[in-house]
Amino acid sequence: MTKRTVLIGLDGATFSVLDPLVDQGVMPFLKQLRWMGARAELRSVVPPLTPPAWTSLMTGRNPGHHGVFDFFLKEDNSPHIRFATSRDVRCETVWSIANRNECRVTTLNYPLMMPPPRLNGHVVAGGWMTPRQLRLGCSPDALYDSIKTIPEFDPKKVAMDMAHEEKALEGCDRDEYESWIQMHIAREEQWFGILRHLMREEPSGLTAILFDGVDKIQHLCWRFLAPEWETGTPEPWEQGVRDAALAYFSRLDRLLAEIETLAGPEATLLIASDHGFGPQTMTFFVNAWLESEGLLAWADADQPRESDAATLGMGQLARHVTMLDWKKTKAYAATPSSNGIHIVTAEKASDPGVPPAEYETFRKQLIDSLYNLRCPGTNTRLVEQIWTREEAFDGPFLHRAPDLTLGLADGGLVSILGSDAPVKLREQPSGTHRPLGVFLAKGPGIQGGIRADELSILDVAPTLLHSLGMAIPEDMEGRVAEEIFEPSFLEEDPVRYGGVAAPAEAAPPKTSDNIMFDADAEAEMAKRLRALGYIE
Amino acid sequence: MTAETRDDVFETVLNLLRKMDEEWEDSDEITPQTWLVADLGLESIDVVVLGTTIQEHYDRSMPFAEFLAEIGEQEVRDIQIDQFVDFVHQHLNATA
């Protein structure tokens, strides 16, 4: 019998939110999975960020190998920052490996899939898709016409409605929270409608869908979902937001149950998130701190200030090339999403920056200074962990990684804005990423009711391939989570390793590529990142 | 490999734009003088994706960074289809 697997991605899902909802009866299907299947916490990559994490899940490789470290990519020897695209994924994905094993693939709403790779099956790219991009994001070309035959299909609902999404600022009007959550419920239903259509009409051996509303709702509505909610005394409107958020999770749970029914009992069901979630209570203005240390200088007085609500961090992101005084800057944070610090190195003696001979000393001093920072009001460390690029990654794209990646005490993301103080407490905690996401599995040979020890996000790809009866490429860094399978099942169907993954589907650009944000695109990106909670 | 003529490029760009435009009943006919943002209503992010898709189509990297940066400095921060086609054609010929 041909094996089939369904992979469901829940962006940002964490057991600290899901478990209480299961206990409260909001998610009865997930409750069933407690005894029907296996579960484990899933450790993300460093940093726990959507593009590198999902790419690691799809490839079983760390970012140093697959080349995706952030939403954006700074070209080698170029000042320009551009979007990371599917062309930048430099390792073979499970989609391609499945195809090589004569298994058709359907993959819906996964990031780093635009332009869509040409697979045997169906691709609808995810990420920041506007309605007008949907047809271009579909592969094969005829897929969009097939999707359009779905009676309830509405491109404006399935893609991002930025006019509405923009309202997801932390200062979002009270009245707008509930409609914003409703928008995400509608979007998940749209994606499910596409999935159901394809599972019924053109089923694949490997079917994958990503629901990204979990992440967005947790970013904006963390305090309404946090475990501490139960001890509070909410105002009526707060209770309304809480109820709306719970309605989202309840609907999501029903969609999961419907997918399981569509897949049938003989299919393997894997559920995974790219990272977990938790509260962020402070803001570390890392570029402001670097400036105070004499390591960063702005080119003029137009540096982006904390109060600059119109451009926020993304204005700085796109323009940091011109806004920083490169003759005086030795270290800077390029994006608010990666928690990374880049060190400017001098290629020639006459160049500004840190001479190569002094790099190690400079980096060590920078690390020491960061560890000496303290949280406001306490004497505890602000920066709990610092990874050098060699500690966090390995592989041919190591040089693209930040020189240092920061793990902040509150688990939060840095700000790249200017500020009169390097660290400030937030008025209200917001939701932000944490390293531990979720992994759930049920299906043939998978034990029911077990809690396995922590797994790595790199383990998902090998486990998925094994569930399809395929050999695991030997260059995958993860392992099959054998502990979730029945021993007798593994005896009959042992894990097989063999071969290596093929080169990535798309060749990388041959020269310094391409897309610089003009001011409008930059503002658009700001809206999107702000809506996602990446910009405070 | 046969070099693409400007008409070929125009047709390719037009086909891509039609794919982005077909759903929107309020759009006018697309001509060489059509503005991507003002007339077709593309978001700036759509223009970025159009550039990515063109490069994918031709399997060729082009300096869209500089192109869009130049547009961003103009008084009218928008792109006419003719302008876009000229850019693509010029860079295809330069590296063909």
User: Considering the domain B6-95 in this protein, what is its CATH number?
Assistant: 1.10.1200.10
| pLDDT score of A199 more than 90 | yes
pLDDT band at A416 (very low <50, low <70, confident <90, very high): confident
A136 CA: distance to closest CA in chain B (Å): 7
Q: How many whole angstroms from its chain centre is CA B71?
A: 13
Average pLDDT over chain A, rounded to an integer: 86
The answer to whether B45 contacts A128, with C-beta atoms less than 8 Å apart, is yes
Looking at residue A80, its pLDDT comes to 60
Alpha-carbon distance B29 to nearest alpha carbon in chain A (angstroms) = 16
The answer to whether the CB atoms of A521 and B21 lie below 8 A apart is: no
pLDDT tens, position by position, A123-138:
999 987 778 889 999 9
Q: Which of A516, A519, A521 sits opposite B45 (nearest CB)?
A: A521
CATH superfamily assigned to domain A5-278+432-492: Alkaline Phosphatase, subunit A (3.40.720.10)
Among A80, A136, A519, beta carbon nearest to B53? A136
- Chain-chain contact of A114 with B64 (C-beta, under 8 angstroms): no
Q: At residue A16, does pLDDT exceed 80?
A: yes
ipTM: 0.76
Distance CA A256, CA A269 (A): 10
Residues 6+ away with beta carbon under 8 Å from A496: A466, A470, A471, A472
Sign of the alpha-carbon torsion through B34, B40, B42, B47? negative
Q: How far is A508 from chain B (nearest CA, A)?
A: 9
Report chain A residues touching chain B, CB-CB < 8 A. Answer: 78, 80, 82-83, 85, 87, 114-115, 128, 130-133, 135-136, 155, 162, 506-507, 509-521, 523-525, 528
Q: Above 90 in pLDDT, residue A43?
A: yes
A339: closest CA among A434, A426, A210, A424?
A434
Q: Chain centroid to CA A72: how far?
A: 12
Mark yes or no for CB contact B68/A515 under 8 Å. Answer: yes
Q: What is the per-residue DSSP string for A464-492?
A: HHHHTTPPBPTT-SS---GGGB-HHHHHH
Instruction: Work out the angle at residue A429's Cα, subtended by the Cα atoms of residues A402 and A168, and round it to the nearest 5 degrees.
Output: 85
Residues of A in contact with B59 (CB under 8 A): 507
pLDDT attached to residue A318: 44
Over the stretch A301-314, which tens digit does the pLDDT of each residue have?
555 554 443 333 33
Q: For chain A, give the percent of residues with pLDDT over 90.
A: 63
Per-residue model confidence (pLDDT) at position A129: 79
pLDDT at A95: 98
Closest Cβ opposite residue A132 in set B20, B60, B77: B20
Distance between CA A147 and CA A349 in Å, rounded?
A: 59
**From A114, A115, A155, residue closest to B23, measured CB to CB:** A155
> Which B positions 25-64 lie with beta carbon below 8 A of chain A?
37, 42-49, 51-53, 55-56, 59-64
Confidence band for B49, pLDDT divided at 50, 70 and 90: confident
Q: What is the dihedral angle through the alpha carbons of A472, A434, A392, A325, rounded to the nearest 10 degrees? A: 130
List pLDDT tens digits, range B52-93: 888 888 888 888 767 876 776 677 778 999 999 999 999 988
Q: Taking 70 as the threshold, does the pLDDT of residue B25 lie above it?
A: no
Q: Which residues of B touch A519 (CB under 8 A)?
A: 72, 77
- CB-CB contact of A395 with A91 (8 Å): no
- A134-184 pLDDT tens trace: 999 999 989 999 999 999 999 989 887 655 555 544 447 788 889 989 999
For A22-36, what is the mean pLDDT? 96
The terminus-to-terminus CA distance of chain A in angstroms comes to 51
**Kind and range of the H or E element at A276?**
strand A276-284
Per domain, the residue ranges of chain B are 6-95
DSSP 3-state of A518: coil
Q: Look up residue A158 and give its amino acid.
A: V
Check CB contact under 8 Å for B64 and A515: yes
* Residue B24 to residue A132, Cβ atoms within 8 A: yes
Q: Considering only the beta carbons, identify the residue of A510, A518, A525 that sits closest to B72.
A: A518
* Residue contact B48–A83, C-beta within 8 A: yes
Structure confidence at residue B18 as a pLDDT band (50, 70, 90): confident
Select from B42, B59, B65 the Cβ nearest to the Cβ of A515.
Answer: B65
Nearest to A532 by CA among A257, A335, A359: A335
CA distances from residue A213 to A10, A48, A107, A177, A218 in whole angstroms, order as listed: 8, 17, 17, 14, 8
Would the CB atoms of A519 and B72 count as touching at under 8 Å?
yes
Domain ranges of chain A: 5-278+432-492, 280-431
Q: Give the number of beta-carbon pairs within 8 Å between A and B.
A: 94
The yes-or-no verdict on residue A315 having pLDDT over 50 is no
pLDDT of residue A469: 95
User: pLDDT at position A234, please?
Assistant: 86
Are A452 and A480 contacting, i.e. CB atoms less than 8 angstroms apart? Answer: no
pLDDT of the residue at B51: 85
Q: What is the mean pLDDT of chain B?
A: 81
Nearest to A513 among B59, B61, B68 (CB): B61
